[in-house]
């Protein structure tokens, strides 16, 4: 007994804690990724195979379902629509957000605190509560069922987070820079475009990424403003499109699996590219 | 944009020495113009599409209105009375509360435990973090549809159970009223645990390593260190996660809508699902539901902020990301 312990000690002590950690990590990964993998792999099986054995391995691997989805117009229509809406929302919220945050961060005026509090209070106004009256409002404005009629409300609802993240960011830019700029004759607006915007790049990217993902994944507003507003089905955003496809073709399990897994790709790809920003934005925004 | 950028007057500095009083007034009005120009667009969009609809919901909720025609059938609080005496809606409120409580009691400790274990130098730590985060990145709709396929009577989960000889455990997961809400909670945990873990990991980064070393020197074991040092210092992160989780659970819609639409027999109904189910076409009634949902969320948020987050929130809202 003693000899074994000394033998182990002289080599490297086996770290049981480390083994446990890897077991926990692997379990967490398996649970997180397993269901996603099932959907992806299932897309490589034919519907007949899936019906015969829902948990089987693809044999043979069939590209038929993926090919059908990738050559269908509605899938690409949805990708186009989601991209357009997300890009429009991102551009709108970043532009409006940084302008408002600039005023709140760098101007002293009566009502500044109130303005900030108003936007911050927006966090307490969830989209769920506003959804029904919003659809009436957009109908009255003639924007129901249009891209703009989805982009504008999404911008509005993304403004609170954006401004809350950007204000401290803009405030942290040293005031010496502003003084230097004004000595060189730049107006405050000149300072904003030439110094503030370039320096706040990282903050803008963070809020942009958050707004893009929120828009890409949104469901309730597109459901009420797009689908109920009479936008043609081929132009529904992806979450709506996937839901519609899976109801309409529920018998064709292979195609539904393929459609669902292809719809995951954009968000996952975007996440891989912007992981640091997303994680930093989400954790930083709430943690401080 | 390029126009504003075009002409910065570069050589006007000496001018500032002349006529300071007049200049002050003109810079003052110029300042207000700039404020209006910069904050105006955001303010207009925000008020028109966030504040106004919520205010309209409060107005509509007092009418019997189908969304068409004039808003003239004022019925006072009848919509509220109807909602609060509908057992289906009361069940929906109960389901929301169940999910709020279960999330805090189950997801919180689980996330803290995993984060504590992962909070050290590990090979492949970046990959582990990224993979754990995958469910959170997926749209709730897509995650919901995936689970609907997995949990259908002839879906992957039952097939897997059969394959490993646990036939007696197979069941119609989302169609059995006795368990559907807990299955739903399981899906939500799958979807949102990664976010909680990441938040806790970020919070743990803020706990100074020196404290652990000091505790070790004083003879504290691993458990004592975590219990007496790490957890108290993680307090602000935990409290903010609880806040986010509560608000999210009260607003729950997408996941339920695509998997069960609130069924079977209302077992997984939530306030938001009920609102969309009964509110389209009955805008007065739907708006009353929206107002109830709003009041409950606001009350929970304010009470919680008042009693649990007094110290944390100031920092959270004002300091933001660096």
Predicted confidence (pLDDT) per residue in B189-225, tens digit? 999 998 898 888 888 887 887 888 888 888 888 788 8
Q: Answer whether A166 touches B (CB < 8 Å).
A: yes
Burial (Cβ within 10 Å: 0-12, 13-18, ≥19) of residue A234? middle
How far does A87 lie from chain B, in Å, by closest CA?
A: 17
What is the percent of chain B with per-residue pLDDT over 90, rounded to a whole number? 37
* Residue with token string 């309209």: B56
Q: Please, what is the average pLDDT of chain B?
A: 83
Contact between chains at B1 and A253 (C-beta distance less than 8 A): no
Give B178→chain A minimum CA distance, Å. 24
B228: closest CA of chain A, how far (Å): 20
Place of tokens 């009691």: B105
C-alpha B102, offset from chain centre: 15
Residue B9: pLDDT band (50, 70, 90) is very low
Domain assignment present for residue B322? The answer is: no
Interface of A with B in 167-226 (CB under 8 A): 167-169, 172, 183-190, 192-194, 203, 206, 213, 216-220, 223-224
- Measured between alpha carbons, how far is A79 from A69 in angstroms, rounded to an integer? 12
Q: What does the domain layout of chain A look like in residue ranges?
A: 2-64, 73-287
Contact A156 B50 (CB under 8 A): yes
> Looking at the complex, does the CB of residue B39 fall below 8 Å from at least one CB of chain A?
yes
Q: Please, where are the H alpha helices in A172-252?
A: 175-183, 188-191, 197-199, 201-217, 220-222, 238-248
**Short-list B312, B48, B172, CA closest to A137:** B48
Report the distance separating Cα B88 and Cα B80, nearest Å. 14
B71 inside domain: no
Q: What are the pLDDT digits (tens) for A2-60?
A: 444 444 445 556 677 778 888 888 888 999 999 999 889 888 888 888 877 777 788 78
- Compute the average pLDDT of residues A204-223: 89
Q: Read off the pLDDT of residues B154-173 as tens digits, 9 standing for 90 and up.
A: 888 888 888 888 888 888 88
Report how far residue A220's alpha carbon sits from residue A204's, in angstroms, rounded to the nearest whole number: 26
User: What is the per-residue pLDDT for B24?
Assistant: 64
Phi-psi region of A81 (alpha: psi -120 to 50; beta: other; left: phi over 0): alpha
Task: Give domain status of residue B140, yes or no.
Answer: yes
Give the residue from chain A lying closest to B285, CA to CA. A132
Query: Which domain CATH number covers B91?
Result: 1.10.3720.10
Q: How many domains does chain B have?
A: 1
Scan for tokens 């609907």, then name that residue: B148
Using a CB-CB cut-off of 8 Å, the residues of chain A touching B167 are: none
The verdict on residue B52 lying in a domain is no
Q: What superfamily does domain A73-287 belong to in CATH?
A: MetI-like (1.10.3720.10)
Note whether B43 contacts A100, CB cutoff 8 Å.
yes
Q: Under an 8 A CB cutoff, do A185 and B11 touch?
A: yes
Question: Quick check: pTM over 0.80?
Answer: yes
* Whether residue B2 has pLDDT greater than 70: no
Size of interface A-B (CB pairs under 8 A): 319
The answer to whether A89 and A152 are in contact (CB under 8 A) is no
Q: What is the pLDDT of residue A287?
A: 39
b or e along B213-224 (b: 16 or more beta carbons within 10 Å of the residue's beta carbon)? eebeeeebeeee
| Residues A135-163: tens digit of each pLDDT | 989 988 988 889 999 999 999 999 998 99
DSSP B49: I
pLDDT tens digits for B250-259? 999 999 999 9
Cα separation, B186 vs B188, whole angstroms:
5
């Amino acid at each position: 007994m003693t000899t074994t312990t000394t033998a182990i000690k002289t080599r490297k002590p086996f770290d049981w804690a480390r083994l446990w950690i890897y077991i926990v990590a692997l379990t967490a990964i398996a649970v997180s990724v397993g269901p996603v993998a099932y959907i992806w792999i299932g897309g490589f099986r034919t519907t007949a195979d899936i019906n015969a054995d829902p948990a089987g391995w693809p044999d043979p691997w069939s590209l038929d379902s993926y090919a059908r989805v990738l050559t269908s117009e509605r899938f690409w229509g949805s990708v186009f629509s989601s991209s357009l809406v997300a890009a429009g929302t991102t551009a709108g919220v970043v532009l409006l957000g940084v302008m408002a945050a600039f005023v709140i961060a760098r101007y002293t005026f009566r009502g500044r605190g109130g303005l900030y509090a108003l936007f911050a209070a927006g966090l307490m106004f969830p989209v769920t509560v506003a959804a029904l009256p919003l659809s009436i409002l957009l109908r009255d404005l003639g924007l129901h069922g249009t891209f703009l009629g989805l982009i504008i409300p999404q911008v509005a609802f993304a403004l609170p987070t954006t401004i809350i993240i950007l204000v401290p960011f803009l405030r942290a830019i040293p005031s010496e820079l502003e003084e230097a700029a004004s000595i060189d004759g730049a107006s405050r607006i000149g300072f904003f475009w030439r110094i503030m915007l370039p320096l706040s790049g990282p903050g803008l990217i963070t809020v942009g990424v958050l707004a893009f993902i929120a828009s890409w994944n949104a469901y309730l507003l597109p459901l009420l403003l797009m689908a109920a507003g009479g936008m043609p089905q081929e132009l529904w955003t992806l979450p709506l499109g996937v839901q519609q496809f899976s109801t309409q073709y529920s018998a064709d399990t292979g195609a539904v699996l393929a459609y669902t897994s292809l719809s995951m790709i954009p968000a996952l790809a975007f996440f891989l590219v912007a992981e640091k920003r997303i994680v930093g934005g989400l954790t930083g925004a709430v943690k401080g | 944009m390029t126009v504003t950028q075009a002409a910065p007057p570069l050589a006007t500095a000496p001018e500032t020495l002349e006529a300071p009083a007049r200049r002050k007034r003109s810079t003052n009005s110029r300042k207000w113009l700039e404020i209006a120009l910069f904050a105006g667009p955001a303010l207009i969009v925000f008020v028109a599409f966030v504040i106004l609809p919520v205010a309209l919901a409060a107005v509509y909720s007092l009418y019997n209105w189908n969304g068409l025609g004039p808003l003239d059938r004022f019925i006072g609080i009848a919509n509220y009375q109807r909602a609060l005496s509908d057992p289906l809606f009361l069940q929906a409120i109960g389901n929301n509360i169940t999910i709020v409580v279960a999330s805090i009691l189950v997801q919180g400790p689980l996330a803290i435990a995993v984060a504590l274990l992962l909070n050290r130098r590990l090979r492949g730590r970046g990959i582990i973090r990224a993979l754990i985060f995958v469910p959170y990145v997926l749209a709730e709709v897509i995650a919901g549809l995936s689970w609907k396929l997995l949990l259908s009577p002839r879906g992957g989960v039952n097939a897997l159970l059969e394959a490993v000889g646990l036939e007696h455990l197979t069941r119609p997961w989302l169609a059995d009223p006795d368990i559907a809400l807990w299955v739903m909670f399981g899906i939500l945990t799958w979807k949102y645990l990664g976010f909680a873990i990441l938040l806790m990991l970020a919070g743990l980064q803020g706990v100074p390593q020196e404290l652990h070393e000091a505790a070790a020197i004083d003879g504290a074991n691993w458990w004592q260190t975590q219990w007496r040092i790490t957890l108290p210092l993680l307090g602000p992160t935990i409290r903010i996660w609880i806040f986010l989780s509560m608000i999210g659970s009260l607003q729950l819609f997408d996941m339920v809508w695509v998997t069960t639409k609130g069924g079977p027999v209302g077992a997984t109904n939530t306030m938001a699902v009920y609102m969309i189910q009964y509110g389209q076409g009955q805008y007065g009634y739907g708006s009353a539901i929206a107002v109830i949902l709003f009041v409950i969320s606001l009350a929970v948020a304010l009470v919680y902020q008042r009693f649990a987050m007094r110290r944390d929130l100031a920092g959270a809202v004002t300091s933001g990301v660096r």
